[in-house]
Structure 1
Amino acid sequence: MQNTISVKDLSVHYYGKQALQHISFDIGAGRIIGIVGPNGAGKSTLMKSMLGLEKYSGSVQFSGEPVDKHRSNIAYVPQRSDIDWDFPVLVKDVVTMGRFVHVPWYRRLAQSDKKKALEALKQVGMEQFAGRQIGELSGGQQQRVFIARALAQDTDYFFLDEPFVGIDMNSEKIIVSLLKKLKNEGKTIFVVHHDLSKVETYFDELILLNGHLIASGPVQEAFRADTIKAAYGDNAAVLQSDKEMVVVGP
């Protein structure tokens, strides 16, 4: 059960309304998993529930244990809209924050921690911006900094909520390349995503939602015309050819 995640009968209610109902799936290590569905489908809610940031009923286990036993082994990158970009903090300090999960409160960061943070910045091509204020960067640069913070945590699980929204193509390519490298190292990576045209390129497995689970499993099994229609209804036009499926969503 090393680095596996098991979700059983997960449900979430907001003010008497059911946001997610009876979600169940199992994920192994070394996979990039896309969480996909229309607006309001519960994608971010599912991710936050798995991390224990939302109240839910059901069961979520990491390697057979509750999430609280794996806090230091999980990196989470929230939506950009959830971050205060006006807060005065330097890029290098944002990335260094990723090391605090491994450092007792009474100890200062060691030089090895600062070195890991710098290495993470280099991986995303942002080392030359280490002394800049985070608010001075472009959207793509800011996202790369937060990816670097996740890399600095040196974890086995990565959760990214809409990491490609509002960023440039170069930043997206850098992030995707890093995620695939992490996958090859045996990491488990969840990505909330909305661009269906890139599902087959970016992900190994898919969780397709619309309040409930439409489909889950390997992309070639879960990403089909019938499952897309079940999730998006008449808002998705599905064009199939012998070589690829192109989905144009809302």
Structure 2
Amino acid sequence: MKKTIEVKNLSVHYYGDIALENVSFSMNEGNIIGVVGPNGAGKSTLMKALLGLVKFDGEVSIFGQRVNELRKNIAYVPQRSTIDWDFPILVEDAVLMGRYMHIPWYKKTAKKDREKAEKALEQVGMESFRKKQIGELSGGQQQRVFIARALAQDADLFFLDEPFVGIDVNSEEIIVNLLKQLREQGKTIFVIHHDLSKVETYFDELLMLNQRLIGAGPVKEIFNPQILKQAYGGNAAVISSDKEMVVVGP
């Protein structure tokens, strides 16, 4: 199976403090990859390092290349809390931004680009909101718009930072179904997530972090009480059943 992401000895320091230390892993193409760990574990830092948005030591290879060589092929959905929802932009224009990487600076958007943006809105069930400003939408609707922007980009690799935080159940279900459809198309999706009860349902592969790599691989191998305790602390209690596994504490 082809490797999508390969990381060797990645470390990130902020003002002398360790955010990530000596992280190495590789992930397969055509999977939904979950990144989990406690608060402050370095999950968002890892994603930003892979995207070249923060300085790091080590090596990162995506599809065998440096990230700057294939920006058009990578879609990024940041945390909702980092987005200025008061910015005066219509839903349809926000989604159309996903096409900008494919358009030379000296050209305007073409009919083909507008059609792709429209299709993306339909995929997330937001076509009837196209003329609304993004600030008028609910949290779940806003997230669906930014997922649509990523879809409009026609990327092969998707990075989503906490996409299910602060959204309604219907929006979460729509987004999860879309991610699974993308996987069926051979796309790779890299998702930072916090709800451990959904890990086995949502993901194929898992990264467990706590400033260092605790475990990486298929969910069935990594999502177990021993590795969870290493990530969340020795005092954590793992409640397990046939349907779910939840870490409580410490």
Give the TM-score normalised by structure 1: 0.97
The answer to whether structure 1 residue 106 and structure 2 residue 106 are counterparts is yes
5+ residue gaps, structure 1:
none
| In 1: Cα distance, 2:133 partner to 2:16 partner | 42
Q: Are the counterparts in 1 of residues 156 and 187 from structure 2 also a CA contact under 8 Å?
A: yes
| In 2: Cα distance, 1:173 partner to 1:146 partner | 15
Structure 2 match to 1:60: 60
Q: Are the counterparts in 1 of residues 228 and 247 from structure 2 also a CA contact under 8 Å?
A: no
- How far did residue 248 of structure 1 move? 3.7
| In 2: Cα distance, 1:231 partner to 1:106 partner | 49
Q: Are the counterparts in 1 of residues 13 and 56 from structure 2 also a CA contact under 8 Å?
A: yes
| In 1: Cα distance, 2:76 partner to 2:3 partner | 16
Structure 1 match to 2:4: 4
Structure 1 match to 2:21: 21
Deviations 1:72-117 (A, max 9, x none): 1000000001000000000000000000010100011100100000
Structure 1 match to 2:245: 246
| In 2: Cα distance, 1:35 partner to 1:112 partner | 35
Structure 1 match to 2:35: 35
| In 2: Cα distance, 1:164 partner to 1:17 partner | 29
| In 1: Cα distance, 2:64 partner to 2:56 partner | 18
Give the letter aligned to residue 130 of structure 2: A
How many residues of Structure 1 are paired with residues of Structure 2 in the alignment? 249
Q: Are the counterparts in 2 of residues 236 and 247 from structure 1 also a CA contact under 8 Å?
A: no
Structure 1 match to 2:84: 84
- How far did residue 219 of structure 1 move? 0.2
| In 1: Cα distance, 2:141 partner to 2:111 partner | 25
Percent identity of equivalent pairs? 66
Structure 2 match to 1:214: 214
| In 2: Cα distance, 1:138 partner to 1:123 partner | 18
Inter-CA distance 225–54: structure 2 relative to 1 (3 Å threshold): same
- Aligned to 2:152, the other structure's residue is in SS state helix
| In 2: Cα distance, 1:132 partner to 1:236 partner | 45
- How far did residue 233 of structure 1 move? 1.3
- How far did residue 181 of structure 1 move? 0.4
Inter-CA distance 2–114: structure 2 relative to 1 (3 Å threshold): farther
- RMSD over aligned Cα, in angstroms? 1.2
Q: Are the counterparts in 1 of residues 44 and 192 from structure 2 also a CA contact under 8 Å?
A: yes
Structure 2 match to 1:123: 123
